[in-house]
Amino acid sequence: MATTTYVALLRGINVGGNARLPMQSLRELLDGMGATAVRTHLQSGNALFDHAWADPERLAVELKDRIAGELGLRVPCIVREAAELRGVIERNPFDMAGIEPARFLVTFLSGPVDPDKLKDLDPAVFAPDEFRPGEREIYVHCPNGIQKTKLSHALWEKRLGLTATARNWNTVTKLAALAGVA
């Protein structure tokens, strides 16, 4: 049976002592879903795995439900085909010259960006932070650091009505490399 490589991006785990989810437990949950070649990156909810299902949204719901049912945690999950990471990298509208990768985020969304929901968003309100919409992601540069940016997942979720989780550029490119799509 043919499989596809996916990346799972979980939001808000193992941050500040909240929502503790050991990566071993995440790997076991994915194994229990029929995933193969499961591997994790860092302790912040990044997993790569192969699966026969051809529906990333179904995988995200299944993983979210298993985390809730087996561990009692409510954790938003986004699953993308790993090959999509190449497009995310290639579509980056920022010239990365002079940008520190740890201060550059890709906010992954559970669906496509609706430009109409962003048209009245005044970029000057967020300066010096800046953003550019992608297809199913928002690119965010935070030159003074990401900790206090107003361009967080909460803004995008409220504005777009989608689930959102962000990864810094180092993590995005590392996940692509681990998936063999960089």
Q: What is the C-alpha radius of gyration for the chain, rounded to an integer number of angstroms?
A: 16
Name the residue with tokens 């989780």.
Answer: 165
- Which residue among 25, 47, 82 closes a domain? 82
Mean of the pLDDT values across residues 58-67? 96
Query: Cα dist. 57→8, 122, 128, 152, 163 in Å?
Result: 11, 31, 34, 22, 11
- pTM of the full predicted structure? 0.94
Same domain, 107 and 59: no
Lowest mean pLDDT among 8-17, 25-34, 85-94, 144-153: 8-17
| 125-156 pLDDT, tens digit each | 999 999 999 999 999 999 999 998 999 999 99
Same-domain status, 166 and 140:
yes
What does the pLDDT read at residue 54?
87
pLDDT of 140 reads 98
Mean pLDDT over 99-121 rounds to 97
My answer on whether 76 and 103 are in the same domain is: no
* Dist CA 61 CA 97 (whole Å): 38
What range defines the domain where residue 173 resides?
86-178
Are 99 and 18 found together in one domain?
Answer: no
Q: Say whether pLDDT at 16 is over 80.
A: no
Q: Report the range of poorest mean pLDDT among 14-23, 47-56, 138-147.
A: 14-23
Q: What pLDDT, on the 0 to 100 scale, is given for residue 13? A: 86
| 68 vs 20, residue with greater confidence | 68
